[in-house]
Amino acid sequence: MKSTEELREALVKLQLENHALSIDKAQAALLIGAVEKLLGDDSEDPFAGAFAALRGVFDFRHAVVLVEQGSGELHTLIADPLLLAGSRWAAGPFFAKVMAGRVATTISNEALAEWAIAPSALLSPRQPALYLPLKMRAQRGLMILLRDIGEEGFDRGHVVLARKFALLASLAFAARSQRQDKAESDRLKLVTERLEQSRAELSYRANHDELTELPNRAFMHELVHDALVSCHRDQKIALAFVDVDDFKRVNDLYSHSVGDALLKEVATRVRTAIRHDDVVGRISGDEFVILFRGYNSEADVRSTADRLVAALKHPMTVDGCDLRLSATFGIALYPDHGRSYDDLRRAADIAMYTAKHTAKGSVSYFTAEMGVAALAQMRLEERLRQAIAAQEFRCAYQPKFDLTSMTVVGFEALVRWIDDDRQVHQPLSFIEAAGRFGLLDDITMLVVEDVLRSLPLLDHRYGAATLVSFNVSARQIVNVAFMDRLVARLGASPWCRRLMLEATEEAFIESDILRNIVIPKLRQAGIRLSIDDFGRGYSSLSTLADIPADEVKVDRAFITDIAQRPRNQIVLKAIESLCGALGMAVIAEGIETKEELDYLMEHTSIRSGQGFLLKRPFFIEDEPANFQSQPA
């Protein structure tokens, strides 16, 4: 490739030979200026300035620069006027000679095959033309200068000039290419360095948790797998599954920012307490996995785990909040409890959940008995999935009464699982598991369908003024996607304004989601909202002021033996008073004795209730057309 210096030498040589040219020196200067335009112009259009300089030398009307294409055609790289740019020309024998190095002039182009079909109405084969070759990098090309029809053609002097310009232009393109190649090389080097830096950053981000900077789920899988593969016969490995106890409560009572800061503190404490060869990763919200490598005995692992438990129980000050928490550990040993990451993690997970039910903040090792229990859970999950597919979930209806007239004013739909053996399963036997398996949404939608099917019969028997409520979990009611699905189904029914959702008070701690998103959707659809089991969870009377519910159901813990429990009487009176001021209906749950009913009637203004004393839940097809409540 010719260098810029060679080009400059050729320009100087041309200047020295100007006296031998039969042209005006001014024209030579213009020609040199045109070449320098090509050399110095870094724009995408290197010919724009060159054409302007050439006009004083060659006196042309139109100009085009053509380059070879792989298809055998010539493509117009640039043109004057610009309307000619982009046109395609046939690559005939005449153009081939020009591109091979021949400079030619023509008075008429009508005999040339390349002009058989004019590429533009602006051009005519009857225009005198000057053809000169150009070489641009590895491509061949040519320039055509055209005068108007009837004007004199280009003479021998123009041919001499054209040869000089073609040589110098090709050198200019070579110099530009060399300069551009170096610039491109420098740019590519910089881009490569930046890409390498970005690749390292992306690799780190892909493998590490953004909040704690610990290895994430996928990276821990890879690290444990590599450790197992490289493990020698006499080496021992253990895997711990760690869950921060009651972490959701921290988010609920404080804030998510406090929760995030707490997780970072947990990560720091664990990382500080483990050995150098051990690795800790965060695999989900409040769940961590620890890889213990190269320990000598189970006692070594237990010693480290006990140290971790103690470290996490030490009080933490996070964002000005003094917190006490604990974490529960489940540990699986290689190869006794599994030979792969998935098997070990599953076994450690089972051990952790077993410890959760026994004593939070403790350490548990996987055992065969735990495996049997886990297998039972797997079978329960399979049965529940089959039950959902077979639509084996039905509703039992428990009436809500006006305690003054003992008339039915509404019903609560309570889900039951009736298996293929006609055995009726109470919610406590499957609801918690269904939530853990991710099946609760499907069960709730089956409950909705049963309620909508039963409403016409309930209306026929008890009147069209009765309300029907059904339960949604705390997690469901703050799941906007699920609530959109639920509200859409209820809104499509003609009984939408007769329906009420019951959610436990735990859900109402997420007040922002409920107040700003969920409740407006319910109100727009005409669906009512009830706070179920009020007083049993974490909420306070301030919850009632913050959430515009339609109904508050006082938990049975406040109703049981109410006549003998003065403190409960005070709390009940406060709930009753505040709900009355806020326009919320109050229902007493779990009325099971006549003494409880008498106390409500004599000492409170609560006049709505439900309980076994009044009526047990029933399947609508099993109930006589009319019934009377029979308080004992």
pLDDT, tens digit, 9 for 90 and up, residues 87-108: 888 888 999 999 999 999 999 9
pLDDT, tens digit, 9 for 90 and up, residues 332-351: 998 888 889 999 999 999 99
Helix or strand or coil: residue 363?
strand
**Cis amide leading into 81 (omega within 30):** yes
Mean pLDDT is highest, among 29-43, 47-61, 357-371, for: 357-371
Residue 31: is its pLDDT beyond 70?
Answer: no
76 - beta bridge partners?
Answer: 66
pLDDT, tens digit, 9 for 90 and up, residues 113-164: 889 877 777 899 999 999 999 887 677 889 999 999 999 999 888 888 888 8
Per-residue pLDDT band for 631 (boundaries 50, 70, 90) equals very low
d(C-alpha 503, C-alpha 493), whole Å:
21
The whole-number average pLDDT for the span 520-524 is 93
CATH architecture of residue range(s) 4-181 = 2-Layer Sandwich (3.30)
Residue 614: is its pLDDT beyond 90?
Answer: yes
pLDDT reported for residue 368 = 84
d(C-alpha 19, C-alpha 10), whole Å:
16
To 10 degrees, what angle do helices 368-389 and 341-358 make? 90
- The answer to whether 384 and 592 have CB atoms below 8 angstroms apart is no
Q: Which of 93, 178, 96, 82 is nearest to 141 (CA)?
A: 96
- The answer to whether 323 and 300 have CB atoms below 8 angstroms apart is no
Residue 192: is its pLDDT beyond 70?
Answer: no
The more confident residue out of 167 and 412 is 412
pLDDT reported for residue 217 = 92
pLDDT, tens digit, 9 for 90 and up, residues 214-263: 999 999 999 999 988 887 766 788 999 999 988 887 877 778 888 898 89
Per-residue pLDDT band for 21 (boundaries 50, 70, 90) equals very low
Mean pLDDT is highest, among 223-237, 263-277, 303-317, 383-397, for: 383-397
Torsion angle of the four alpha carbons 387, 389, 390, 395, in this order, in degrees rounded to the nearest 10: 60
pLDDT reported for residue 630 = 45
pLDDT reported for residue 434 = 93
Contacts of residue 238, defined as CB under 8 A and 6 or more positions apart, other chains included, come to 291, 292, 295, 298, 301, 331, 332, 333, 334
Residue 430: is its pLDDT beyond 70?
Answer: yes
- The answer to whether 585 and 563 have CB atoms below 8 angstroms apart is no
pLDDT reported for residue 95 = 93
Structure tokens at 216: 């994430």
Where in 496-550 does DSSP place strands (E)? 499-504, 528-534
pLDDT reported for residue 472 = 95
The whole-number average pLDDT for the span 465-483 is 91
217-366 carries CATH number 3.30.1300.10:
no
d(C-alpha 413, C-alpha 394), whole Å:
9
Per-residue pLDDT band for 448 (boundaries 50, 70, 90) equals very high
Where in 336-490 does DSSP place strands (E)? 363-365, 393-402, 407-418, 424-425, 467-471
Return the percentage of the chain with pLDDT > 70, whole number.
Answer: 85
d(C-alpha 425, C-alpha 434), whole Å:
13
d(C-alpha 216, C-alpha 281), whole Å:
6
Q: How many CB atoms lie within 10 A of CB 314?
A: 9
Which residue has tokens 């409560």?
Answer: 249
Residue 341 φ/ψ region, left for φ over 0, alpha for ψ in the -120 to 50 degree band, beta for the rest = alpha
- The answer to whether 401 and 614 have CB atoms below 8 angstroms apart is yes
CATH number of 375-468: 3.20.20.450
Per-residue pLDDT band for 527 (boundaries 50, 70, 90) equals very high
Q: What radius of gyration do the chain's Cα atoms show? A: 43
d(C-alpha 475, C-alpha 518), whole Å:
12
Domain ranges of the chain: 4-181, 217-366, 375-468
The whole-number average pLDDT for the span 484-498 is 92
Q: Which of 45, 115, 108, 112 is nearest to 81 (CA)?
A: 45
pLDDT reported for residue 37 = 62
pLDDT, tens digit, 9 for 90 and up, residues 543-575: 777 778 899 999 999 999 999 999 999 989 988
d(C-alpha 552, C-alpha 533), whole Å:
8
Which residue has tokens 């009837």?
Answer: 150
Measure Cα distances from 11 to 7, 165, 182, 422, 584 in Å. Answer: 6, 10, 23, 103, 96
Structure tokens at 298: 């189970």
pLDDT reported for residue 184 = 60
The whole-number average pLDDT for the span 473-484 is 91
The more confident residue out of 622 and 41 is 622
The whole-number average pLDDT for the span 513-520 is 87
The whole-number average pLDDT for the span 464-488 is 91
